[in-house]
Amino acid sequence: MLWMLTPGAGVLFAAFALSLVLAGLAWRRSAQPQWRFFPLLMLAVAGWCLVSGLEASFVPFAWRILWAKLEYLGSGSAATLLLLFAARYSGHDRWLRGTRQLFLWALPAVGVGLAGTNELHHIVWTGFSPGPVGTNFLIYHHGPGYSAIVGWIYAYLFCACGLLVKSALRPAAGRRRQVAMILLAAAFPLTAGVLYSLGYSVVPGLNLVPMSFVLTAVIFLLELVGGWV
């Protein structure tokens, strides 16, 4: 058997579809400078959910490792685009232009490179264990490279949240409710990431972070896109 549709994979595929819808709706707003990175952010989230769903549904070990490596492309791109979106949305994007923006993209590129060559150094994953019977999950034993990758991703996320908070605290800011909802949406993957890194999960081996973007996408859809249609 090459692959099997598990409940976890089904949720991830649903998140993939919802993120694509949100990206399409956001594209209508992308002519405004502050929204330029938002459709790209949703496409990165969609790609992350797609490869995570494939990793959860493919049975052969080699295929699951391949999809797991590609997940680092999605998570790194999503974190970077969220920071760029927050900087542009809050009007603090001057310091993220030119070579500084290239530096931002260099960190996720290094993460993808480390995951892609893990067989040579084993600093991202030191080993793998099978998950519970019937789940088709792998339990990844993380090395120091994983901690470094997670560290810079959280640095990007917290910087993005800080920029949005600063924007919301401006006097007479008419977007405070909107920014508050964005922060609420960002809280789901932040919390899920902490739980996964600490080894807490509903099912051992289940990465809650891509699934958390289902809730994130729904909040974005209701709060940001609902008024555009």
pLDDT at 1: 67
Write down the mean pLDDT value for the chain.
81
| Buried residues in 130-169 as b, exposed as e (16+ CB within 10 A) | ebeeebbbbebebbebbebbbebbeebbebbbebbeebbe
- 196 pLDDT above the threshold of 60: yes
Q: How far apart are CA 52 and CA 213, in angstroms?
A: 12
Mean pLDDT of 186-191: 81
> What are the residues facing 115 on neighbouring strands?
none
Q: Are 22 and 52 in contact (CB under 8 A)?
A: no
User: How many other β-carbons are positioned within 10 Å of the β-carbon of residue 184?
Assistant: 13
Name the nearest CA neighbour of 25 among 192, 227, 162, 174: 227
Q: How far apart are CA 1 and CA 196, in angstroms?
A: 28
Q: Sorting pLDDT into bands at 50, 70 and 90, what band is 72?
A: very high
Name the nearest CA neighbour of 64 among 126, 131, 147, 111: 131
Q: Are 210 and 57 in contact (CB under 8 A)?
A: no
Q: Which residue has the higher pLDDT, 66 or 215?
A: 66
- Output phi, psi for 141, to 5 deg: -95, 110
Q: Residues with Cβ < 8 Å from 218, sequence gap 6 or more? A: 18
104-158 confidence digits (pLDDT tens): 899 999 999 999 999 999 999 999 888 776 667 788 888 999 999 989 988 998 8
pTM equals: 0.87
Q: Sorting pLDDT into bands at 50, 70 and 90, what band is 228?
A: very low
Q: Which residue has the higher pLDDT, 163 or 8?
A: 163
